[in-house]
Amino acid sequence: MSNSVDKLWTREFVLVSLINFIIMLSMFLLLVTIGGYAVEHYHVSTSTAGLVSGIFIVGSLFGRFWAGKYIDIIGQKKTLVIGVIIFVVTTALYFVSFDLTVLITVRLLNGIGCGIASTATGTIAAFITPKKRRGEGISYFSMSAVMATAVGPFLGMFLLQFITFRQLFIFCLALALIALFMLPSIKVNEDLEGLKSQAPKGLHISNFIDTNAIPIAIVVLICCTAYSSVLSFISFFAKENNMVTAGSFFFLAYAIVVLLSRPFTGRLMDTRGTNVVMVPAMLAFIAGLFSLSLTHTPMMLIISAMLLGFGYGNFLSIAQAAAVKRTEPQKIGLATSTFFIFLDFALGFGPYLLGIFIPIIGLHGLYFYMGIVVVIGMIVYFILHGRKAHIYDALN
């Protein structure tokens, strides 16, 4: 009986992870290509193209705020259905975006759908995972987002060598429809009446942000802002250092290390505690950024990718599990939303902030200073969470 209770790989867990992967894949696939579409079809400036790409993150933030407040009121499954339907409809609207204003509006609404859906998938994954295996479960689930982060940009640039933007939109719509058709197979046993009785009222910040998750979310904001420099500028870095071929394998090496390390890091967190995994992950994260700042050869670039795969790749899943462990069961949805709001803010607005400093310090200098930022993040982690991590671990 205990084996059944502690079962991790249920049908719902697999389906929710697949839906999350599909939605995030579509997100990152367009995130790196839609700017080129705006330039090609609307002849806009580079900064406007950046707005077309980045407005999606703003929409995602709105979606997460909404989902964070209402997911535990209307239910996780219904929230997921709402998010996926919005995502499907707005993905279809790319075909009728004949005006730049319409395109920006569609991107904003598409982001809202993605934010709602991905908040729901993350909440469901945490909700259906056995408490004793929550670190391991979230670790495996977050691999769906990590793989999408690696595969999406690569696939988008690769496909555009052979197909048109319109065909790319068809591909993204097909992905969204696959996610929609998978929804009826997901069943979540929720005590909705118990949750509704705790329904938040008004527009207080506590209705949208889980205060219990804020400490670890602050660490996420700091460290993920540093990682946004990798996500946004690594292609420029590879080109600047004549390592374009090696640069194309950067995220592949990153993803392989994540895949190899997740099976034992998640389980280690559940059995030995958060700090046992978080400390090595953050040290590897720091080493990866410092390594990038010294990189001038393809081998060093791949080594940096592997360090970041073990470091940032595991840091993110550990932080998400820690956010859930800090809160009450009825606030898992709000805690998950809070985590992703801070994450989206870092990844969405970080590149705009960091881009200001690149002409002054260069890309090598940028990665050096981002290493220092993660060092600061590690100190903040110990102050806000690490020194009491054993207490939160014991509660779950």
Given CATH 3.30.565.10, say whether it is the number of domain 209-395: no
pLDDT reported for residue 345: 85
Please give the model's pTM, rounded to 2 decimal places.
0.78
| Mean pLDDT on 66-83 | 87
Count Cα neighbours of 165 within 13 Å in the Cβ-side half-sphere: 17
pLDDT reported for residue 196: 47
Q: How large is the greatest C-alpha to C-alpha distance in the chain, in angstroms?
A: 63
In angstroms, the CA 325 to CA 392 distance is: 6
Residues of the chain with CATH 1.20.1250.20: 8-189, 209-395
Q: Where are the alpha helices (DSSP H) in the chain?
A: 2-5, 11-31, 34-42, 46-74, 76-92, 100-128, 134-159, 165-182, 192-196, 214-240, 244-248, 250-272, 274-293, 298-325, 332-355, 358-384, 389-394
pLDDT band at 94 (very low <50, low <70, confident <90, very high): very high
pLDDT band at 107 (very low <50, low <70, confident <90, very high): very high
Tell me, what amino acid is at 179? A
What is the homologous superfamily of the domain 8-189 according to CATH?
Answer: MFS general substrate transporter like domains (1.20.1250.20)
Residue with tokens 């967190």: 269
In angstroms, the CA 84 to CA 176 distance is: 7
Tens of pLDDT, residues 149-192: 778 877 887 788 788 889 999 999 999 999 999 999 888 766 54
Residue with tokens 């870092």: 346
- Say which range, 12-21, 245-254, 293-302, 324-333, has the weakest mean pLDDT: 324-333
Share of the chain above pLDDT 90, in %: 35
In angstroms, the CA 231 to CA 56 distance is: 16
Tens of pLDDT, residues 305-314: 999 999 998 8
Residue with tokens 């996500």: 231
| Mean pLDDT on 272-286 | 90
pLDDT reported for residue 207: 65
Q: What radius of gyration do the chain's Cα atoms show? A: 20
pLDDT above 70 for 385: yes
Tell me, letter by letter, the H, E, C secondary structure of 145-188: HHHHHHHHHHHHHHHCCCCCHHHHHHHHHHHHHHHHHHHHHCCC
